[in-house]
Amino acid sequence: MNLTTDDADGKIRLDQYLAAHLPELSRSRIQNLIKSGDVLVNGSPAKPKNPVSRGDSITVRIPEPEPAEALPQDIPLDILFEDEDVIVINKESGMVVHPAAGNPDGTIVNALLHHCGDLSGIGGVERPGIVHRLDKD
């Protein structure tokens, strides 16, 4: 995606400018894209705090999401009901449901992959199975 700044006065930071012009991206996501070199200003990498001036050319590259491959783990489950279509468990308080940054394993999904062998996919490997919780704790 390419932007040419026609409304910048050199006083607004790059991350603020992009947050205002790309509302579909969070400011945190924009800062991470800048830091990873996926945002170029006039063909060069920039920093989030760099000022944007009128006529600057900004290129934003949004990489494809990296697939997260959840691995089966032998984690005990408190199973309340199970048939060939549904499994209902009593989730332990504090246990994370899906693997994510900071919690790559030890999750309900990891335990279910071990117990069930396979989970139906939503969007392929990126988020295996239909796993929902009914309450937070």
Annotated catalytic residues are: 135
* Residue 48, SS3 per DSSP: coil
Alpha carbon distance 107, 135 (integer Å): 16
61-74 burial, b for 16+ CB within 10 Å, e for fewer?
Answer: eeeeeeeeebebee
Is residue 54 within 8 A of residue 41, CB to CB? The reply is: no
List CB contacts of 42: < 8 A, sequence separation 6 or more: 56, 57
* CA quadruple 102, 125, 114, 104: dihedral, nearest 10: -10
Tokens representing 76 are: 């005990």
CA 113 from centroid of its chain's CA atoms: 21
